[in-house]
Structure 1
Amino acid sequence: MTQKNKPIMILGCTSDAGKSLVVTAICRLLANRGVKVAPFKAQNMSNNAAITSDGLEMGRAQYLQAIAAKVKPDAMMNPVLLKPSADTQSQVVINGKANSKLSQMPWGARKALLWPEVQKSLHHLIEQYDQVVIEGAGSPAEINLREGDIVNMSVALECQADVYLVSDIDRGGSFAHLLGTWACLSIEEQKLIKGFVLNKFRGDAALLGNAMDWLEEKTGIPTVANLPYYRHQLPEEDSFRLGTTWQRGKINIGILYYPYASNMDEFDPLIYQDDINLVPITKNISLSHFDALILPGSKNSGASLDFLTTTGLATEINTFHKAGKLILGICGGLQILGEAIFDPLGLEGGHKTGLGLIALQTTLQAEKSTQQTIINWQGGIVTGYEIHHGETVTDSSVTTFMSENLGWQHDNVYTTYLHGVFENKVFYNWFMREVGGLENGLQWSEHLETELDSLAIMFEQHGWL
């Protein structure tokens, strides 16, 4: 391992090369060795956000990495979070708080304001921890983005990190990716690269031949690890692993995968159960075969609602509702299922008429509600988090669901502002009772601990630390 306060940085040749997983593995491996370690990613772009204990937003990947490191998640571990809300617009979250002024600024003008925040957070963590493990974003070889870089080589140079470059060998072309990425860096930046990492390898290692020696001859940099294709049940940063169609013999749950759907990792407890088939609904199809529907959170409830209306899915959802089957709306899904979404500040494109399946009316507020929440429910403890602009009111036709001002229910429609409910065994089992499934829920936080330790063991066997 490197000496105290010498950061390790994991960069990738491409997006989805496996940077997040490698950082997570290193954090748990070092934490298990008794090292005081912290993750860091200067800037993340994702609608999968987590809420810290002090009510601040951060990327869920860094939140998981902090759990892997066995330390309290801190927004400084991800000082800049970009949350896409339109094709060319993202909400900018700085140090855990949404910043409306920066969200409206041209991208090129932001670096002067964001970089000092990155520097402050980075050096704070270096001072507080024995080891900081840094994740880059995308690829450092994207020449068109270099001038505005605050997340890749700018960070590496700032702290003189030991940099490891990861390539997804399962995609093919890994050695060209590694050589080409290295060649796009300046000489000063190349000197920081300590090793190449092949990731997601399947098959016989002998098939690699002398390719690693060839690469080292070209660059002077050794290939330090060949990590296997590793199946796990940890949250993905952006992708969402789902079934593709209805399956006989399973509980089939349709999830409305509309534009700007957010925090999709909260459905992992459903995805990994053998008796559940969670299917994304992305176009107008008949929903009659499904046992339940879920409307997830959304970074732009108005745009997601427009999608349902224009595709005709709104009509299908209404037909499903009349059949009496369970419909669950979480956060943005709650707002969409209601009668109206009022948008006096123009945050999400103006006022919208909702699906009208439950008597809720939501007004979008300038300030976002962000907090961790714990409630007693049906004889158990339910933990989760809230992250929404909406303030919702209702009338006497609905009843409270879960907790006052947290969710509402009418007939077969259930709604909640609480994210992460399926990660609680008591809620999962309630949902399964309602849809006729098995009450085999897990306490997901305990399951993740087992997964993290298994990941660390894999990395210790195949990594370089």
Structure 2
Amino acid sequence: MTARCIMVLGTSSGAGKSWVATALCAYYRSQGLKVAPFKAQNMSNNARVVSTPDGQWGEIGTAQYLQALAAGAVPDVRMNPLLLKPEADTRSQVVLFGQVNDELSAMPWRGRSLKVWPQIAQALDELRAENDVVVIEGAGSPAEINLHASDVVNMRVAKHCNAHCLLVSDIDRGGAFAHLYGTWALLPEDEQKLIKGFVLNKFRGDASLLAPAPQLLEEKTGIPTVACIPMQFAHGLPEEDGVFDDRGSTGAGQAIHTTIAIIAYPRISNLDEFQPLMQVPGVRVVWARSPSQIADADWVILPGSKATAADLSWMRTQGLDAAIVAHASEGRRVLGICGGLQMLGEALIDLHGVDGNAAGLGLLPLATLFAQEKTVQPTTLTLPELQAPWNGLSRVQARGYEIHHGQTELRADMQAGAEQPAKELLPGMLWQGGNPAVVGTYLHGLFENAEVIHALFGHDAPSLEQVFARLAQGVGQWFEAGSL
């Protein structure tokens, strides 16, 4: 078996490559084909836990994880062999086949890319041998001419497997036809020939008004525009690289009963896990960067962070630290997840240069010691008895995952004399404060459990399978016959 390779390229980041690739995975699956996704190199702090060939647990980008589910495939580290997790503007942690690779993390960008190409090619070839179709996602733009010589994620991949390439542009931003033409024009002639169709994504309005632009573009390039995808608000998938807005919520325009403020610090990670909250009727999600944005919130969530100490410093600069403490003192809910949990404690202790030392917010009597080795594993648990206002979650089963360097423990000396002591409800995993409105956990993916959403809000969020079915149906409507 040698799979047909369909590659989704973009004129820029945010054009919709991940979303279109996920839709194509669902579509080919609906045609009865065996499908796998692939992205050679992903830069994202949104990651999921999957098994590795040697029986360990590793990380891949969330986009490829969801694409695998859309394809009906078991997520595999080969589907995203290289994952870059930004820790600062000029530094990323490099994850190769699911595992942190310190040697590659220390290498210059160009030298790193060329060194890993043989392994990337091998992973792709193995997936091609095992499937009918491999849906490949590019990164950024294939026409980044400063990076072309060291490319391992766009046209080098396309040429390696002679991919049928689709070039996607976000027409909602404006300038889509110039973006398509300019991207095509900057490619060498042999790579131009691999582009088989242009895709206009996020279109709002009357598609007939696009004429004669698609025809004129085809006259200049020889490439047809094969799809015009309508804007898809509330499509049910998380945005890979940016925070959401109210338009992505199924509750937008409805009477709001719960406002949840999620702190959007610079190195926020795993923000995709909050997508189900966007789909609960009557729930409003606010991505908060200032105290005013949490003033009227019912909940505050401190999400994961790839740079906990630095993001904690940023929060203090914004005045969010005092605002969060005040929020908790009023008995309103505060939830910390992973890095957010660590921030809720008293101290962050870094003896190995992993993250940094810092004083926490002091809402939980916890100390976190950063270990050199990263904990990466799936987790299934039954939530214990919690005090109000979180008591609705008592005895609810939850599945999720852990990705963290920090090891956190309850410190009795940090709550000496406390009228109400904090409790470690699950060792190393879940804590509730003496102020029971404050809870911290290492479990990512809590809100992706239908049982949790129902226990908290009395509603059922659409399942991923329902989302994938809609996407598969949409592909059949949006793309011209024979273009795939």
Query: Of 364, 369, 394, which aligns to 1:358?
Result: 364
Alignment of 1:8-407 (within 5 A): 8-53=6-51, 54-231=56-233, 232-243=235-246, 249-285=256-292, 287-348=294-355, 350-377=356-383, 378-396=394-412, 397-401=421-425, 403-407=426-430
Query: What amino acid is the match of 2:312?
Result: L
Report the Cα offset of residue 248 of structure 1: 8.0
Partners of 1:260 and 1:311 in 2: CA distance? 15
Question: C-alpha displacement at 1:155, in angstroms?
Answer: 0.6
Instruction: Check whether the contact 1:40–1:77 (CA below 8 A) recurs between aligned residues.
Output: yes
Query: Once the 2 structures are TM-superposed, how far is the Cα of residue 342 of structure 1 from its aligned partner?
Result: 0.6
When the two chains are superposed, the root-mean-square deviation of aligned CA atoms in Å is: 1.9
Distance 1:242 1:228 in 2: 18
In 2, the alpha carbon distance for the partners of 1:229 and 1:249 equals 24
Given that residues 201 and 227 in structure 1 are in contact (C-alpha distance below 8 angstroms), is that contact kept between their aligned partners in structure 2? Answer: yes
Shift of 1:284: 3.5
Contact 1:285 1:313 in 2 (8 A): no
CA contact (8 A) 2:410 2:424 kept: no
Cα separation, partners in 2 of 1:164 and 1:373, compared to 1, 3 Å = same
Match of 1:424 in 2: 449
Q: Who is 1:435 aligned against? A: none
The worse-fitting range, judged by mean Cα deviation, of 319-328 and 281-290 is 281-290
Seq. identity, %: 49
Distance 1:169 1:288, change over 3 A: closer
Matched, 1:456 2:480: no
The one-letter amino acid paired with 1:399 is: K
Q: Which residue of 1 aligns with 2:388?
A: none
Residue 138 of structure 1 aligns to a residue in which SS?
coil
Letter in 2 for 1:299: K
What secondary structure is seen at the aligned counterpart in 1 of 2:4?
coil
**Who is 1:408 aligned against?**
431
Deviates more, 1:54-63 or 1:99-108: 99-108
Q: Is the 8 A contact 1:369 1:388 kept in 2?
A: yes
Question: How far 1:121 sits from its partner (Å)?
Answer: 0.9
Q: How many Å apart are 1:311 and its aligned residue? A: 2.0
What corresponds to 1:439 in structure 2?
458
Query: Which ranges in structure 2 are unaligned for 5 or more consecutive residues?
Result: 384-393, 413-420
Deviations 1:309-365 (A, max 9, x none): 2222111112222212221100000000001111111122x3111111111111111
Instruction: Write the letter of the residue equivalent to 1:319.
Output: A
After TM superposition, where is structure 1 displaced by more than 4 Å over at least 4 residues in a row?
A: none
Q: In the aligned structure 1, how far is the partner of 2:293 from the partner of 2:189?
A: 58
Q: Could you tell me how far apart the structure 2 residues matched to 1:112 and 1:455 are? A: 35
Relative to structure 1, the CA distance from residue 312 to residue 171 in structure 2 (aligned partners, 3 Å threshold; closer, same or farther) is: closer
Rounded to whole Å, the distance in 2 between the matches of 1:327 and 1:149 is 43
Deviations 1:26-61 (A, max 9, x none): 111111111001000001111111111452100000
TM-score, normalized by length of structure 2? 0.89
Q: CA deviation at 1:286?
A: 7.2
Write the letter of the residue equivalent to 1:415: G
Counterparts of 1:326 and 1:133 in 2: how far apart (Å)? 42
Mapped to 1, the partners of 2:164 and 2:411 lie a distance apart of 59
The residue type paired with residue 91 of structure 1 is Q
Residue number in structure 1 paired with 2:415: none
Distance in 1, matches of 2:24 and 2:431, equals 42
Shift of residue 441 of structure 1?
4.2
* Residues in 2 aligned to 1:448 and 1:33: alpha-carbon distance in whole angstroms: 18
* Deviation of the 1:425 alpha carbon: 3.0
Counterpart AA for 1:440: H
Letter of the structure 1 residue corresponding to residue 329 of structure 2: K
Indicate the SS of the match to 1:140: coil
Q: Distance in 2 between matches of 1:116 and 1:81?
A: 16
Distance 1:462 1:293 in 2: 39
SS of 1:225's equivalent in the other structure is strand
Change (3 A) 1:454 1:124: same
Aligned 8 A contact 2:2 2:129 in 1 = no
Deviation digits for residues 399-425 of structure 1, max 9, x if unmatched?
233x33211111221010000101123
1:110-166: CA deviations, max 9, x gaps? 123221221111111111111111010111111111122110001111111111111
Q: Give structure 1 stretches of 5+ with no counterpart.
A: 433-437
Greater displacement, 30-39 / 199-208: 199-208
Shift in Å, 1:243: 4.4
Cα distance in 2 for partners of 1:234, 1:296 equals 18
- Quote the Cα distance in structure 2 between the aligned partners of 1:426 and 1:223: 43
8 A Cα contact 2:347 2:368, kept in partner? yes
